[in-house]
Structure 1
């Protein structure tokens, strides 16, 4: 038998796009409105009015039939004007709040093959007040349709009371649909399509919002809305400004929205979609159906553009688009037939009439919700009389609600700032509210803690040695010292050094193997030497024994070291040096004859405690000078975050010439714990390292993430993981590594730790949660500041940036270094006056690190603003290596970069050789090895 023929009509281009979008995503797209009715309502007449409205507009009694194997359905008009009707009141038990009912209806799954698709609910609030909810598929209506419905229901309700009929016949939707399809198929349509191709929209990347989720688990489109009411005085100002600049309120708000998106993303070319009603011809004004269309509006930004210039540009684009709106097809703007448009950011402006009076009742639009396109973020501004409401619609699968609330506050601030001065540049406009500024500058930085301010580091150690003299203090390999033994030997060295003139502000170089020397065993290991220098009142400069002679010579000369402590076997490595050389192994008998009591010195908390050299962009390293108070403040701050019981065991196997190990050294020695220093020959042998830590279980370890990741590839390496705290530092840590660690040792607390040498070891910590949830950051966050530390995310003009917006990290507080030794100009450039406090002499350190605030107040690392890199925890200025390569006679020019593969970073150098001489790779590597350590050689 032949199936019965069904007469139908083609979908309009708008319907086709929405249908394909629905089929691909499975999401629900509806249009709904709530109408408030006041007066003596006759409910039967209202139902009759609704029926007559449905009779007038075929789209309200249309269903969609799709033949098997056919991609698109046809529109079928039903002669029956039935519709779903339900009355709800408090007495019949079915009453529920209107917002709840609206939410339920937005989840209602329409059967497009069955009519009726129109659903209505009448909620009785009182004897003379009702709410009428109308819900139907967005295939059948847009927001203009719903506003038309309110007017028609009012008009026809009045006619029903008087037994009259409306005489005018509206244009039916299928007429519009056929016209629009024919328009696009006409030969003349090529001109309109060419207009949209000339916009070059495909070359502009989608906006990535600062607060977007980085999870790949998104499975559905989950729109939600957050609504705010703008201040009443803004409406009057908007109206006045629009008149003054020959613009409209909608255009000014649209320009504000574009500006805010630029300020939050930094993307200079932005595309924001705005809705065109599709009713530019008068005959279509009263047509009901999906005529509206989202059109992309491109806008370019620069810091010095005036807002009026942006406004003018947007106005011109909107006017131009108006002419060609029918020719834009969303599917032609996409690739691979992907109709999912969740990257869209949109704007719309609605103006609602107040109310319609008819037959003794008034009808007024109270709520309007229309969704016929996926979006990531959409701003809908609604003007009603003197009231302006901003609705922030967002995909809750991508953006958290707290970020939307923050954005709404920014928008209100920006609109107010703009209306105060439309001639201001877009970079000058305020977007951070007073409340947000208080949060950024004060609440996130409430770290003041009253630690003992006058203590020096050795005072803390001496008190601990007196309290726990018999506790193990340090273990080098399998040899060990108690607190009493360590304190005694450090005291003897201190008395010896004081006789050589060591005291406050006197630098002493340390050039020894960490574990001690031969027969002298642990008499003068590096921990003993560090404590001895500090107890003498001096400051220490640790020098790596792998340093090339040229690099060692520079450090000794630049720091003007008067005394160098070394060992006999290393004297051959020393350059020409005019200061006093003390070989601790040959002098040990003399030193151990010194008295063993704690020495006295004139050292104060603002005296130097150590000097560390870091890579320098000019080709020469720079010495960072740290004072006692900064180190003691760090000690107290990190102990508070670690929250370990006294007597915990710490381990370190990083170089003593950097400050990474200070997280273990001083917390161990000032809390009665034991410091385990793994021998270098075991550190480089995974099997030996496993056995070492099996013999010596530890509670806390600090390690560079890439180093740990490499170690964990060897069998049995979980034995090196501590029992209680694992501190990661020196470079960004990945979530994959965190997951791997948690599987191996679920009871160990992981702490990510960040801080430049110039801020004393570290200033931020982030305790990783037990469960890895939908992380807002691509890498493990840097965290929040330690005690007596303030952090700021600023732009180039030193203005605070909002949560989520990338900027440079500036650090202030007790941890700041004194500066760079013998580099007053560089010190002045990097350590600047803190403009956010009244505290005299307060400074900010300019880190060069690009970060952003996460909504919870933690900081996320994003990269660098310069050419500094971190490889295996070593801080390297690429410019330093380039400057050294350029010194080679066979190199005319060089560029050094970082090559990363599967998480492993390597230095790679590219050179332009001189024509007369073309050096080999081995020759260049040998040249650099004579000047810098291996980790700095590409």
Structure 2
């Protein structure tokens, strides 16, 4: 139990001006005391300005950018089978709203400052409607996607869909600015406790809440401003300062100028034998399952991107204080876990690297992500998230099962997510029954087929790591047996029978006679028939012969990938010479050496490359297309 002297100490601290708070903080530090170990006190007065937390400020900014987005909604849906007592349900929600200020909070501008406004307790509307089973999923998804107005509120919506007299679906949607995933769990558990009592005519007394979310927001700001922000920021600044890499995965579509937050989810099945192997590997290497799966995701992203600096966002519940465990509010924080990968390190070495970074991050977990972004000042872009573009979220708990209430069976209802906050997110859930995983992806960037293939590749990597943790990260298998067969053998089965004793240009000439109008070349929007290709190559070949090209004469061919490249190649062959390919992208020193060492007698070149190549004095040049 927290002692009153400690509460009084914190209360005095929170009322001090900033300079005196900083001095107070330094005195605590010099005595080896941590302010984090002291309780959170409520020092609010009626009518006092209630600031937003750091996390809420970022949510406000994101909402203003796109008020209609559902990317930051916190939804839940419960299927209620049996006799539903609607009066008890209404009373339960009203008790929840009275208990948790976050459920009756809206935001407003107080001058130039954003502030929270806590409204008086009032009955909450439960929107009831009938829906048939066939349309249920679509109705749930539509309700989840319906936008909030943060300034008007309410920021909790409750809908009750009647599928039949004995079958209902309860949909709860909160905005992230007043809630998080942990909070949804708190709400559902307290709702069931209240309903269980009220539906039987009993009273329900929940343990009193020592503080409310607004108290936490004021305490957090006072603590961070006094000196904790600078203390924690030192570690993160050393780790993450400098150029901020943007993870370049092989997207199916170019990244749009502004994220739409449209998304979808791909479930991944981990077979029981793999789960057993993962648990054994974690035990052998002295790491948690979180660390193992994070390391596997880091290795996967390294293999897919080729980048060595891999940065992944990892949410932490931030519920390590007794005062916040049972509160509804936006407590979750995000850490940026950085891995410095080298393909030659073994997977076992990567595990230890990841373990060390995870433990360091845990020791510096109180710095709000928003303060880290402000300190590092990454280049801002509406096209991607700052500091990281992929997320990993691991939850270790028992897999959700149906629960029993008086006269009701309660089970979670699944629905399809249509939003994504990041380019790619890997979510894993661990329990005694197994491990479940899913990839949530931005549909602006990835196709469903690509992400399904990604899931298979991640599983292949896990299996290989379990089989031999001493394997180098660069050698971890991504492809399954079918893909290896296709790439190594089926795609390489290119052997064909061609007429013996005929030259390539002779075969082209034969095709020009047999099918003159058939397309021979396509490049961007251009197309060339066999007849036109042959005519253009012949014209150029005559010019080459006039310039002295024939057997044993080397012709330099300096062209970008284009139709001109093929015309030039065929013309040299028709003239009886041999071509020396010169890639214009090569360094000038390399090209100068090739031109000198090869002994080319003539250079075929595109006009716009004349000033780029180090052409030796006296070397005859012929410009393609003239």
- Is TM more than 0.5 here? yes
1:177, distance to aligned residue in structure 2 (A)? 1.2
Asked which structure has the greater RCO (Cα within 8 Å, sep 6+), the reply is: 2
Find the residue that maps to 1:203 and give its secondary structure: coil
| Residue pair 1:83, 1:117 contacting (<8 A) in 2 also | no
Q: Aligned match of 1:313 in 324, 336, 353?
A: 353
What is aligned with 1:302?
342
Q: Report if the CA contact (8 A) 1:347-1:378 is conserved.
A: yes
2:535 is equivalent to residue 675 of structure 1: yes
Counterpart check, 1:31 vs 2:74: yes
Q: Does 1:54 align with 2:104?
A: no
Residues of 1 paired with 2:214 and 2:51: CA distance? 8
Q: Which has the higher helix share?
A: 2
Deviation per residue, 1:54-92 (Å, 9 max, x gap): 22211111111224x63x53111111343342334xxx4
Q: Which residue number corresponds to residue 164 of structure 1?
A: 203
Q: How does 1:907-922 map onto structure 2 within 5 Å?
A: 907=612
Task: Determine the C-alpha separation between the residues in 2 that align with 1:868 and 1:271.
Answer: 41
Alignment of structure 1 residues 390-539 onto 2, 5 Å: 390-441=437-488, 453=497, 455=499
Q: Secondary structure at the match of 2:141?
A: helix
| TM-superposed deviation, 1:187 | 2.4
1:361 CA displacement = 3.9
Distance 1:163 1:649 in 2: 85
Per-residue CA deviation, residues 137-182 of structure 1 (Å, 9 max, x unaligned), is 1111111111222222222222323522233123421122112111
Question: 8 Å contact 1:49–1:156 — kept in the other structure?
Answer: yes
SS of structure 1 residue aligned to 2:260: coil
Partner of residue 82 from structure 1, selected from 123, 134, 142: 123
Number of the residue aligned with 1:870:
583
C-alpha distance in structure 1 between counterparts of 2:128 and 2:82, whole Å = 17
- Scaled by the length of structure 2, the TM-score of the pair is 0.73
* Other-structure match for 1:728: 563
Which residue matches 1:115? Answer: 153
Give the CA deviation at 1:437: 3.1
Helix, strand or coil for the counterpart of 1:327?
Answer: coil
Of 380, 386, 394 in structure 1, the residue corresponding to residue 433 of structure 2 is 386
**1:217 Cα shift?**
5.5
Task: State the shift of 1:258 in Å.
Answer: 0.9
In structure 2, what is the Cα distance between the partners aligned to 1:754 and 1:159? 85
Q: Cα offset for 1:360?
A: 5.2
CA distance in 2, matches of 1:220, 1:755: 46
Deviation of 1:755 (Å): 13
Distance 1:97 1:370 in 2: 16
TM-superposed CA distance for 1:385, in Å, is: 4.8
Any conservation in 1 of the 2:344–2:473 contact (CA below 8 Å)?
A: yes
Does structure 1 residue 275 correspond to structure 2 residue 315?
Answer: yes
Asked if the contact 2:77–2:170 (Cα under 8 Å) also holds between the matched residues in 1, the reply is yes
Structure 1 residue 292 and structure 2 residue 332: aligned?
A: yes
Deviations 1:835-860 (A, max 9, x none): xxxxxxxxxxxxxxxxxxxxxxxxxx
Q: Which residue is equivalent to 1:144?
A: 182
Which residue in 2 is equivalent to 1:881? Answer: 592
User: In the TM superposition, what is the alpha-carbon distance from 1:445 to its structure 2 partner?
Assistant: 6.0
C-alpha distance after superposition, 1:24-44 (max 9, x if no partner): 344342111123445554333
Equivalenced residues, count: 539
Which one of the candidate residues 199, 204, 209 is aligned to 2:249?
209
Q: Structure 2: how far apart are the matches of 1:21 and 1:683?
A: 64
* Structure 2 counterparts to residues 696-775 of structure 1, below 5 A: 728=563, 730=565
**TM alignment of 1:545-624, pairs within 5 A:** 605=500, 607=501
Please point out which of 216, 240, 252 is paired with 1:176.
Answer: 216
Name structure 1 gaps, 5 residues minimum.
Answer: 456-604, 611-625, 653-662, 685-702, 708-726, 731-752, 762-819, 822-866, 888-899, 910-923
On the 8 A contact 1:196/1:328 being kept in 2, the answer is: no
SS of alignment partner, residue 326 of structure 1: coil
8 Å CA contact 1:297–1:318 kept in 2: the answer is yes
C-alpha RMSD of the superposition: 4.5
Question: Contact (CA 8 Å) 1:649, 1:676: kept in 2 or not?
Answer: no
Partner Cα separation in structure 2 for residue 192 and residue 879 of structure 1: 50
The residue number in structure 2 matching 1:509 is: none
Distance across 2 between alignment mates of 1:755 and 1:433: 42
> Map of 1:251-262 to 2, 5 A cutoff?
251-262=291-302
State the Cα distance separating 1:394 from its structure 2 match.
1.6
Contact 1:225–1:392 at 8 Å: present in 2 too? yes
Q: Is the Cα contact below 8 Å between 2:131 and 2:162 reproduced in 1?
A: no
Determine the C-alpha separation between the residues in 1 that align with 2:219 and 2:419: 21
Task: Name the CA distance, whole Å, in 1 between partners of 2:416 and 2:518.
Answer: 61
Unaligned runs of 5+ in 2: 1-45, 522-527, 545-556, 599-605
